[in-house]
Amino acid sequence: MLNYKFDWSIVTSGKYFEWLVSGFKVTLQLSALSIVLAFLLGLLIAVMRMSHNRPIRWLSLAYLEFFRNTPLLVQIFFWYFGSYKILPTAVNDWLNSTNFEFAAAVIALTIYTSAFIAEDIRSGVLAIPKEQMEAARSAGFSYLRSMQYIILPQAVRLTVPPLVNQFLNLAKNSSLAMTIGVMELTYQARQVESYTFKGFEAFTAATVVYVAISLVITALVNLYNEKVLNIHKAA
């Protein structure tokens, strides 16, 4: 006995379709913004991690271990609910009058992912022969400039495949933002389910969209590889 009737029309047109589209837009904004910020922050942490200054190295190591080893969900709750306890009232009032749910989700996703990205970039840097750094330094570049002009451009190239993984993870992890009321794709799919009880249709639609987002990210990075870095797939 099959007592579930599929009705795909609810997710292809009408009110519920619009909800899913608006959720898709929020997921896209959340992911794109967090990917850019996480990459920049990850780059910074990676450079700090390889610095010759001991306190800076320790600081970045502590950052890494802390944010890599705590669950993302806990971090989201920390930024959204926990930050209230440490911020002054005026700041809290201002945050509460804005779309703080979204901001807290971006902060959590950025910081969490940056820790992984930093390690990937570091492994890329370690793969560059250390003579290159020595050569750069003896040619008169400072440590930061050697990194900027000589080491990082090569390292990032090597790091592209693991970076894609992190970007994909981030896009999918963004669904956890629904726990604090960010109306992204999974939130809206759940919403459609609770209004219509058509959970299979709603979540199938959401799944298709997540796969599409992931494929687009992969395609963009491959394009960047080929056009900008001149790396070809065969290589």
Partner 1 sequence: MKKLATLFMVTVLAALAAKTVLAADTLAEVKKKGVLVAGVKDSLPPFGYVDEKTRTIVGYDIDFINAIAKKLGVRVELKPVTSASRMPQLQEGHIDIIAATMTKNPERAKQIDFSHTYFFTGQKFITKKGTVKSLKDLDGKKIGTAKGSTSEQNAKKAIPSATVLSFDDYPQALLALEQGKVFAVTTDEAILAGILAKAPGKERFEIPNVQISDEPYGLGMRKGDKNFVDFVNKTILEMEKTGEAARIFTKWFGPATQFHLHRNFKITADR
Q: Residue 70 has which token pair?
A: 């705590």
Per CB under 8 A, contacts with partner 1 among 93-132 are 93, 96, 100-101
How many other C-beta atoms can be found within 10 angstroms of the C-beta atom of residue 156? 18
Binding mask 151-190 for partner 1 (x = CB under 8 A): ----------------------------xxx-----x--x
Give the nearest distance from C-beta 176 to partner 1 in angstroms: 11
* 22 sits near partner 1 (criterion: CB under 8 A): no
Helix, strand, coil proportions of the chain in percent (round to 5)?
85, 0, 15
* 86 sits near partner 1 (criterion: CB under 8 A): no
| Nearest C-alpha neighbor of 112 from the set 186, 173, 48 | 173
Give the nearest distance from C-beta 223 to partner 1 in angstroms: 21
Q: Select the residue interacting with partner 1 from 8, 58, 84, 149 (CB under 8 A).
A: 84
CA 58 to centroid of chain Cα atoms: 24
3-state secondary structure of 51: coil
Note whether 109 and 174 are within 8 A (CB): yes
By CB under 8 A, name the binding residues for partner 1.
1-4, 6, 80-81, 84, 92-93, 96, 100-101, 179-181, 187, 190-191, 193-197, 199-200
